[in-house]
Amino acid sequence: MAWYAASMVQPQDLYSEYLCLDQLLDAQRPWSDLGGRPAHDEMLFIIFHQTYELWFRQISFELDDIQQRFSTSVVDDRDMQPILARLDRIAAIWRLLVRQLDVLETMAPQDFLDFREALRSASGFQSWQFRLIEARLGLRRQDRIPVFHGHFDDALDPGHKGLIARAEQAPSLYDQIDGWLARTPFVERGGYRFWDSYRAAVEHVLDGKAAGVRQALSGEALAAELSAIERARRKFHLIFDEEQHAKGVEEGLWRMSWRGLQAALLITLYRQEPVLQMPARLLSVIMDVDELLTLWRYRHALIVQRMMGTAIGTAGSAGYGYLMSTVEKHRIFSDLYGLATYLIPSAALPPLPESLRSEMGYRYHPADPPVPRAPHG
């Protein structure tokens, strides 16, 4: 007999049972009530954090599947569609989490103050699910803003601390995407070397610019333009040269591997080629996720300033000041944004060799004769 048929619950109660509604609706217990000074807005504050934690759970669930699909040494092309669908969903959830803050802003600072004491040291800072998502996406311990008292995870219980430590040791989504990019076959194919071809095109663009300004300008204006072009040339050399790139990684300018970087540029520049369309979408949705997480950090920091000014947070941080510094410093996929520095106009882009283009295209062609069907029986 199926488990649901064996249940004693009446059909009209199945909705509540399915959603464990009794437990869920019994989980809002304002601490200001316990202290004998009920504060009306604490209910909103609790429900807000609870809905966030539920969405964090969904994000982790999506990440489980994405990271599993990325964990093989060769990612099956068919996995790209579900990976993109899950990433789109994570982006949509973050968009919702940012917009949702409108509701929290209906709480006045005075109303927050009325229950703030009752929270004691409880703070979103101790959200282990948030820390887990950060770590799984690729925020490394050494890249975090140093915290006021020891480590960001000191206040977590040993079980949750262990979960985060394991996530930090395992390949993050950043590492997996970098590895996947580094394996992109089209960066070097047959006699074609994307890096050599692109480097020549960049030099050509910069030489053309220099010739143009030499004709149009003189004196100080010419010197200023030529030195700007030289600066651009040096910037490009930072990525074209493997040793310079390695130095950039050491100095924290880049995190992405040299091969990964080349592939990300190839995909960005030639994204209209059929085989590169899905990878280009992947890079774009990853940037959406990074941007939405950054927007959330920023709006959360503004709300904190609105509610508490520059007062110390319940977890003991500098509050607004600390949170604002995480907005830039805790970004994970900044390298993908940095790529835009190294683009050249489409007109200057060297065409791909015809043999490579045909490999990158869909094999089906309307003029192809129909494939004969195998006879039945």
* Closer by beta carbon to ligand HEM, 258 or else 322: 322
Smallest distance, ligand HEM to C-beta of residue 189, A:
43
* Closer by beta carbon to ligand HEM, 134 or else 335: 134
Contacts of 226 (CB under 8 A, 6+ apart): 210, 213, 214
Smallest distance, ligand HEM to C-beta of residue 346, A:
39
Smallest distance, ligand HEM to C-beta of residue 114, A:
12
Smallest distance, ligand HEM to C-beta of residue 147, A:
8
Smallest distance, ligand HEM to C-beta of residue 199, A:
39
* Closer by beta carbon to ligand HEM, 104 or else 264: 104
Smallest distance, ligand HEM to C-beta of residue 137, A:
13
Q: Specify the 3-state DSSP secondary structure of 58.
A: helix
C-alpha span between 206 and 229 (Å, rounded):
7
> DSSP letter string over 110-163?
HHHHHHHGGGTT--GGG-HHHHHHHHHHT--GGGSPPPSSS-TTTTS-HHHHHH
Q: Contact residues for ligand HEM (CB under 6 A)?
A: 48-49, 52, 104, 112, 123-125, 127, 130, 300, 303-304, 307-308, 313-317, 319, 322-323, 326
Tokens of 259: 């091969």
Q: Residue 235 CA to chain centroid, in angstroms?
A: 25
Contacts of 147 (CB under 8 A, 6+ apart): 317, 322
Smallest distance, ligand HEM to C-beta of residue 224, A:
41
Give 246-251's long-range contacts (Cβ < 8 A, gap of 24+). none
Interior CA angle at 124 toward 161 and 120, to 5°? 100
* Closer by beta carbon to ligand HEM, 119 or else 182: 119
* Closer by beta carbon to ligand HEM, 52 or else 70: 52
* Closer by beta carbon to ligand HEM, 116 or else 259: 116
Smallest distance, ligand HEM to C-beta of residue 335, A:
20
* Closer by beta carbon to ligand HEM, 107 or else 239: 107
Interior CA angle at 156 toward 145 and 329, to 5°? 15
* Closer by beta carbon to ligand HEM, 63 or else 323: 323
Q: Report the 10 Å Cβ neighbour count for 294.
A: 20
Q: Is the dihedral of CA 271, 273, 276, 278 positive or negative?
A: positive
C-alpha R_g of the chain: 27
